[in-house]
């Protein structure tokens, strides 16, 4: 692997959601990520959420997979020996589960004082809800963010799983473990990073809380300039049923939008009069309904009108801008986002495809200094599983 983090070794205790996404980002940037998987059962996949999320071939890319029976003390000992040579560990269990496995912060730091121990949860390690089950939508709801998403006359609309799982969870974890790693380089001591999706989703609301403090944000859905109420910031249906987006907030960009659209109605001069927004949105909708999406692209795309077509997942990789930048790549027939951000001196390469469970077991333990006879004994005893022996 290449990339700015190619000197890092990360241990991932397998899970779903934001933890794997954080590890994907680290792997994308060159880190060696060793995922500790459970032993395969040999039974057909149950088809549940974990199987669905763990076999997408994208979020699981870039790993090495080691399959270990962590209910066996010998398996836990084997993992701890891997931890001794790692820089970062990331787990996403409920609080206390890693401790019950014997892989909590205390035994890991006993083996490796410099280890950064990342804990990814929805509610956090402490608080009244710490032990409760939940998903992205619940964590975003508690942060105040979900309340503001969607039209004023409808219930809040879930923002996929982007605000809690990935933005407020996985990316927060990456920031946290890299900050702790930078500190460990100076102090020689690792620490525990408590990354909670409720904290992260709340953090993403910083601008809204700041605007509210100035009296410039209403704590009501569909009434603000960034939530679809303003005519100059939203999406519109075109003559062909497809959609475009406009975000002409600043006056000079708003003027450009009006000019290119051929709008000279004086009512549009009252851009920031909130009482005019419903009527202006209706008028602008009527304008965009007169042409197809591609016709509007020909007029507006690339201008300072703050415009872009609303692309489907199938269309996005084909757009000329995304194609020229290589924003998407195709690997083994799977179209997926490319690693980001970009680095001019230590560029990241496309990580290898998602591994089979236990694909690298023997190789990882050998690289960690386990004698070959010991590896063979662990495999024979069913403590670890190597997929290469069962191909």
State the catalytic residue, choosing from 28, 37, 60, 165.
165
Respond yes or no: is residue 165 known to be catalytic.
Answer: yes
Catalytic, out of 72, 135, 194, 243: 135
For 197, the token pair is 């999706």
Two structure tokens written together for 320: 């000329």
Contacts of 242 (CB under 8 A, 6+ apart): 292, 293, 309, 310
Residue with tokens 């507006």: 300
Cα distance between residue 155 and residue 366, in whole Å: 55
E strand intervals along the chain = 9-13, 32-37, 63-68, 88-91, 116-121, 192-196, 233-237, 243-247, 307-309, 328-331, 334-337, 384-385
For residues 390 and 41, give the distance between their C-alpha atoms in angstroms, rounded to a whole number: 13
How far apart (Å, rounded) are the C-alpha atoms in residues 171 and 23? 10
Which residues are catalytic, by number? 135, 165
């Amino acid at each position: 692997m290449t990339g700015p983090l190619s000197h890092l070794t990360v241990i991932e205790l397998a899970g779903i959601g934001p933890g794997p996404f954080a590890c994907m980002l680290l792997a994308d940037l060159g880190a060696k990520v060793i995922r500790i998987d459970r032993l395969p059962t040999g039974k057909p996949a149950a088809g549940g959420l974990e199987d669905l999320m763990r076999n997408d071939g994208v979020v699981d890319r870039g790993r090495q997979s080691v399959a270990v029976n962590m209910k066996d003390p010998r398996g836990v000992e084997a993992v701890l020996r891997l931890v001794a040579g790692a820089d970062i560990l990331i787990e996403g269990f409920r609080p206390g589960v890693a401790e019950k496995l014997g892989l909590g912060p205390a035994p890991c730091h006993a083996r490796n004082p410099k280890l950064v121990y990342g804990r990814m949860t929805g509610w956090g390690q402490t608080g009244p809800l710490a032990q409760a089950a939940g998903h992205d939508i619940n964590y975003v709801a508690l942060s105040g963010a979900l309340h503001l998403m969607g039209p004023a006359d409808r219930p809040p609309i879930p923002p996929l799983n982007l605000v809690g799982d990935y933005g407020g969870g996985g990316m927060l974890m990456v920031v946290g473990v890299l900050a702790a790693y930078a500190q460990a380089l100076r102090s020689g001591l690792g620490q525990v990073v408590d990354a909670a999706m409720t904290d992260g989703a709340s953090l993403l609301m910083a601008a809204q809380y700041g605007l509210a403090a100035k009296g410039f944000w209403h704590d009501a859905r569909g009434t603000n300039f960034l939530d679809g109420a303003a005519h100059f910031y939203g999406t519109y249906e075109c003559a062909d049923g497809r959609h475009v987006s406009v975000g002409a907030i600043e006056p000079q960009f708003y003027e450009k939008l009006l000019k290119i659209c051929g709008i000279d109605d004086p009512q549009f001069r009252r851009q920031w009069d909130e009482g005019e927004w419903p009527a202006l949105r209706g008028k602008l909708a009527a304008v965009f309904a007169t042409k197809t999406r591609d016709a509007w692209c020909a007029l507006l795309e690339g201008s300072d009108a703050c415009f872009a077509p609303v692309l489907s997942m199938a269309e996005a990789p084909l757009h000329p801008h995304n194609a020229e930048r290589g924003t998407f790549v195709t690997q083994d027939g799977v179209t997926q986002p490319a690693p980001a951000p970009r680095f001019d001196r230590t560029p990241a390469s496309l990580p290898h495809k998602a591994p089979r469970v236990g694909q690298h077991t023997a190789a990882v333990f050998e690289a960690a200094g386990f004698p070959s006879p010991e590896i063979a004994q662990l495999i024979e005893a069913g403590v670890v599983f190597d997929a290469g022996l069962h191909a």
